[in-house]
């Protein structure tokens, strides 16, 4: 084999390896950013749901004159993050998404803490 041809083959292999590494690195960074975004949305969902629930619990407490129990922030946080995992799973059908969300919603009802 001629030295020039061997050099071209080596350069081509090096270029393919460099481009492949760059593409893989970009995909990993993109996925990481996507997960970070979904976690942030999960925290926003948790905060919003807790604030809404606390507002309703206070109103009900004022009407009934008794303490109303409510799930903890951690329960809402786990709910929000898991909700984002469910809705971001492209392999799930709409029926599977609904079923998983129903199970998830029922899971936070069991834990009770004083408001």
The better pLDDT of the pair 55, 70 is held by 55
C-alpha to C-alpha distance for 16 and 23, rounded to whole angstroms: 10
The domain locations on the chain are 3-114
Structure tokens at 69: 């129990």
Q: Dump pLDDT digits (tens) for 13-60.
A: 888 888 888 888 888 888 888 888 888 988 999 999 999 999 999 999
C-alpha to C-alpha distance for 44 and 56, rounded to whole angstroms: 18
Q: Which residues contact 104 (CB under 8 A, 6 or more apart)?
A: 79, 82, 83, 86
Please, which pLDDT band fits residue 114 given cuts at 50, 70 and 90? Answer: very low
- What letter would DSSP give residue 91? T
Q: Mean pLDDT for the chain? A: 85
pLDDT of residue 113: 43
List phi, psi (to 5°) of 114: -70, 145
User: Is residue 106 predicted with pLDDT exceeding 70?
Assistant: yes
């Amino acid at each position: 084999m001629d030295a020039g041809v061997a050099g071209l083959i080596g350069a081509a292999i090096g270029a393919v390896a460099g481009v492949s590494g760059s593409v893989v690195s970009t995909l990993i960074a993109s996925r990481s950013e996507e997960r970070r975004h979904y976690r942030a949305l999960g925290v926003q969902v948790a905060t919003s749901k807790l604030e809404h629930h606390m507002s309703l619990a206070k109103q009900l407490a004022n009407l009934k004159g008794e303490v109303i129990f409510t799930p903890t922030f951690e329960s809402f946080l786990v709910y929000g993050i898991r909700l984002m995992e469910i809705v971001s799973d492209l392999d799930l059908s709409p029926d599977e998404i609904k079923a998983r969300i129903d199970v998830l919603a029922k899971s936070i009802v069991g834990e009770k803490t004083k408001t």
